[in-house]
Structure 1
Amino acid sequence: MKNATKAIESYIFGKDGNRPDLLRRAFNLDATLNVLVQTSTIVFPPNVQGREDIAKILVHDFSLKYENVYTFCFGAPPKSEANIHKCKWLVGMSTKATGELRVGCGEYHWIFSPQSGLAIQLSITIEHMLECPSQHMRKIMDWLQGRSYPWCESTDMLDSAPPLTCLQPVLAYVAI
């Protein structure tokens, strides 16, 4: 049964929780991932073809570097039968090697198969990926863990954000 919301949630829960198997509930076997990175603080290949390679890049390789990952999609989830969905996102996570925090934002643009309801294409724009000192771990994690997950209203995220200078570019992007 087609369900665009469940496909997006499977992607988020799979990526954030290091569960690559969930991506079979998010992407068609021959899906395409396009990534536009607007910052030098994180690197992704610009194009990835196929669900297995998408899972390798977005789950397996990602989880080697990062933990405590929380990704939020802003606005209402798509209707079950939606063929496209576009939304801003925010992610917070810690770097395994150093404990340093990363907080980023950008936009998702999903295209779903009319037949299966699974994604046939995901385009991710990464506008910012900020580095925050590890001493802010508790404040940032408390902030993220206190939000509705993975669907959140941007006003809730903005109104509850800790007053940290390192977050300002992300918060400014989310506010637009």
Structure 2
Amino acid sequence: MRDQLTTAIDAISTYILAKDSNRPQLMKGAFAEDCELEMAVNTDAISFPSSAKGLEEVTRVLVTNFADQYENVHTFCLSRPNSDYLPHFHCDWLVGMSAKQGGAIRVGCGTYNWHFGSGDDKRLRKLAIDIEVMCVLPSEISEPVMGWLAALPYPWCLSIQAHESIPAIEALRPIKGFLGPSE
């Protein structure tokens, strides 16, 4: 059975594809039935429930409800697991998207804490997401922001790559600061 062969990279890539492409049916390949989600949102620019339990509820929060509000989503993990099978993986992330209502651009970053199953089922048991920064920009400047995101290696991108090519837009300064050292 395919679910039993999932590696950390497979599970994370499948989640990102499911979320970014609004494909809720893919979530069962990444997450166990009894999975958990914890969210810490440290910004007022976006809101999510603080937790969800079970594959159906986690899928609703991370894919279905998210896709009701956002499109043109690009999510990047800023480091890769160094092993196929591991109990835990922590990485920073970067995301950009446009709001379906009005077209405002959101660019955010934070951390993912991935917890994988053991034994035969290596799918995700728990995902903790911290949203540290979320910048909201007017739709009029979507072209340079979306062009930047589209040019980054997807879904695995080093922070230095994103930092070096970020558009010189003042509103993205908090993102640039998260991605790398200040200049």
Q: TM-score normalized by structure 1?
A: 0.97
Equivalent residue letter for 2:178? Y
Query: Does the 8 A contact of 1:106 with 1:125 survive in 2?
Result: yes
Structure 1, 94-103 or 166-175: larger mean CA deviation = 166-175
Query: Does the 8 A contact of 2:9 with 2:80 survive in 1?
Result: no
Distance 2:9 2:87 in 1: 11
Q: Which runs of 5+ in 2 are unaligned?
A: none
Figure out how many residues of one structure are paired with residues of the other and give that number.
Answer: 176
1:2, distance to aligned residue in structure 2 (A): 3.7
Equivalent residue letter for 1:30? D
1:78, distance to aligned residue in structure 2 (A): 4.0
1:170, distance to aligned residue in structure 2 (A): 1.3
Distance 2:82 2:18 in 1: 19
- Paired position in structure 2 for 1:34: 38
Distance 2:177 2:29 in 1: 33
- Paired position in structure 2 for 1:139: 144
1:64, distance to aligned residue in structure 2 (A): 0.6
- Paired position in structure 1 for 2:21: 17
Q: Secondary structure at the match of 2:161?
A: helix
- Paired position in structure 2 for 1:119: 124
1:128, distance to aligned residue in structure 2 (A): 1.0
Aligned residue among 48, 51, 58 for 2:55: 51
Q: Secondary structure at the match of 1:45?
A: coil
1:80, distance to aligned residue in structure 2 (A): 1.0
Question: RMSD between aligned alpha carbons?
Answer: 0.9
Aligned residue among 43, 63, 77 for 2:67: 63
1:67, distance to aligned residue in structure 2 (A): 0.2
Runs of 4+ displaced beyond 3 Å = none
Distance 1:57 1:30 in 2: 15
1:170 correspondence with 2:175: yes
Identity of aligned residues (%): 39
1:88 correspondence with 2:87: no
